[in-house]
Amino acid sequence: MPKKFYVTTPIYYPSGNLHIGHAYTTTLADILKRYKDMQGYETYFSTGSDEHGQKIEQKAKEAGLSPMDYLADKVESFKELWKHLKIDYTKFIRTTDKYHEETVQKIFSILLEKGFIYQGNYEGLYCVSCEEFLNADQIDENNMCKISNTKLELVKEETYFLKTSLFQEFMEKDVLGSEFLIPAYRRNEMLNSFVKPELKDLSVTRTSFSWGIPIKENPKHVVYVWLDALTNYITALGYLQDDHTNFDKFWADEEVEILQLAGKEIIRFHSIYWPIILKALDLRQPTHLLGHGWILSKDTKMSKSLGNVVDPIDIINQHGADALRFYIGYELPTEKDGNFTDELFIESFNAHLANNIGNLISRTNQMITKYFEGYVNLEDVEYDQELIKQGQETIKAYTANMDEYKISDAIRNVLDLGNACNKYIEEKAPWNLAKEENFEELKNVIATLQRTISIIVFLMKPILVENYDNMIEQIGLKNQKLTFEKLLNWKEISFEKLGDKKIIFKRVN
């Protein structure tokens, strides 16, 4: 039986256009999904749109449209972006999908029946932009939301509460006392800010707006965004539906590696309320929640509500999907905030994709064509042991990092190998070997490079998806099925005669 991997991104609000921040989380998920595919896992990747709530209701009204008409275009634009970015998702869930709405109603009824939900009254300050009731730490001195910088509404209404207070010990021990939330330092953050001071019961329905899923027991209440939104991760798989094959396969089975990704502002929902909802439903927990930092623009969070966003489509149109996927994977490690500016982007592209990898492939190809007419006969080659060893070690370091979802470190392993190859070329100066007619040594050098470059290209497969086939063809491996095992037993790989050359990753001036 193949191992299984289920990866999810948050479902994004269609209250504006998606920006680099959303592209960030989705690309990380896509890279990991593709990596697991390469490792022979059976994978499922879910993303989507979070369509209910006051914010969407207001936006549709401003646009003079019904919510569904307003949403249609937005959702199309999400899918369009994922197509441009080469995102290979398995499922796109909309919270307005009928199966989802019906399942949320069922989930609400189960939790009510089990006594985990009760009716009461709520009074508090609500941030429409974040769709969240705020506590004192989240409000600035002008009574505005610290995250979205928008005005708050005083809300006083009847509501149903989830009895999160029952789960204090479960949270401290089983969830935040385990390896579930990564990076590890976020566990203490959650414990100290939200759990230890006392878990407050969570309001899960609203009555002052109607754009939501009405509950069967009392239809003037609509399920407030988070119970609706978080449950998407299981409704998308068919939980409580006639066809629950994917749920059985990718959630219920304890062996499945379930990875959820979310930005740091919603870690609280994913590491506290979501585990509680699952526990209350008697369901297993995800293996890991990877909470990542923010992409900043001039030191503040890039966000729709602040309007300081970069449109990923512009970047892709100018530089291609791979350039953006690379920047996201390499330059924005998940454990801290990162920056996105045109200057940084171009600098990184030139240094790593154009000067390192692109240049390495093209200069090696030129030498294979010039000195060996496109084909190096590998009989009697004496490979450079040091470079070959570094190649083998790179595969191991890369897989160890990818297995821990450390994409940036894994890419660094590959870039280091690329730099080592470029240095090797300078040191060996094959053009001098040719001049001296030392063809034996020339062949050793070029064959060593060809082998090592095949590792570089293969390890970049989950990231550089648009150029992968082209790169593989350029290094003479078009008809080979590469695997990690094959690269570790590298003598099994044979190369074909090189064909036409196309420039990969041309330097941007």
Give me the residues that bind ligand ME8 (CB under 6 A), please: 10-13, 21-22, 24-25, 50, 229-230, 232, 262-263, 265-266, 294-295, 301-303
When the beta carbons of 13 and 247 are compared against ligand ME8, the nearer one is: 13
Distances from the Cα of 288 to the Cαs of 13, 273, 435, in angstroms? 23, 15, 57
Structure token digits, residue 176: 């935040």
What is the 3-state secondary structure of 313-372?
HHHHHHHCHHHHHHHHHHHCCCCCCEECCHHHHHHHHHHHHHHHHHHHHHHHHHHHHHHH
When the beta carbons of 212 and 263 are compared against ligand ME8, the nearer one is: 263
Closest approach of Cβ 389 to ligand ME8, in Å? Answer: 38
When the beta carbons of 22 and 186 are compared against ligand ME8, the nearer one is: 22
The residues, ordered by sequence, that sit 6+ positions from 11 with a Cβ below 8 Å of its Cβ are: 47, 48, 49, 50, 93, 95, 229, 232
145 annotated to bind ligand: yes
When the beta carbons of 21 and 391 are compared against ligand ME8, the nearer one is: 21
The residues, ordered by sequence, that sit 6+ positions from 211 with a Cβ below 8 Å of its Cβ are: 52, 53, 54, 56, 57, 60, 67, 222
When the beta carbons of 312 and 391 are compared against ligand ME8, the nearer one is: 312
Distance CA 500, CA 374 (A): 10
Closest approach of Cβ 474 to ligand ME8, in Å? Answer: 34
Distance CA 401, CA 413 (A): 9
Closest approach of Cβ 145 to ligand ME8, in Å? Answer: 13
Closest approach of Cβ 233 to ligand ME8, in Å? Answer: 7
Closest approach of Cβ 380 to ligand ME8, in Å? Answer: 53
The partner residues of 8 in beta bridges, in order of sequence, read 46, 260
Backbone angles phi, psi at 52, to 5 degrees: -95, 175
421 annotated to bind ligand: no
Closest approach of Cβ 114 to ligand ME8, in Å? Answer: 22
The residues, ordered by sequence, that sit 6+ positions from 200 with a Cβ below 8 Å of its Cβ are: 135, 164, 165
Closest approach of Cβ 430 to ligand ME8, in Å? Answer: 44
Distance CA 504, CA 472 (A): 11
Distance of CA 70 to the CA centre of its chain: 27
The partner residues of 79 in beta bridges, in order of sequence, read none
Answer for the pair 175, 271: CB distance below 8 angstroms, yes or no.
Answer: yes
Structure token digits, residue 175: 């969830």
Closest approach of Cβ 268 to ligand ME8, in Å? Answer: 11
Closest approach of Cβ 279 to ligand ME8, in Å? Answer: 17
When the beta carbons of 53 and 476 are compared against ligand ME8, the nearer one is: 53
When the beta carbons of 74 and 86 are compared against ligand ME8, the nearer one is: 74
Number of residue whose CB is nearest ligand ME8: 21
Structure token digits, residue 405: 């979802």
When the beta carbons of 35 and 294 are compared against ligand ME8, the nearer one is: 294
Answer for the pair 474, 496: CB distance below 8 angstroms, yes or no.
Answer: no
Distance of CA 77 to the CA centre of its chain: 18
130 annotated to bind ligand: yes
When the beta carbons of 26 and 364 are compared against ligand ME8, the nearer one is: 26
Closest CA to 72 of 14, 11, 9, 10: 14
Closest approach of Cβ 297 to ligand ME8, in Å? Answer: 8
Distances from the Cα of 378 to the Cαs of 208, 442, 494, in angstroms? 74, 12, 8
Distance CA 65, CA 70 (A): 6
Give the helix, strand, coil percentages of the chain, each rounded to 5: 50, 15, 35
- Residue 437: count other Cβ atoms within 10 Å of its Cβ: 8
Closest CA to 81 of 246, 269, 309: 309
When the beta carbons of 233 and 398 are compared against ligand ME8, the nearer one is: 233
When the beta carbons of 190 and 472 are compared against ligand ME8, the nearer one is: 190
Binding residue numbers: 127, 130, 145
Binding residue numbers for Zn(2+): 127, 130, 145
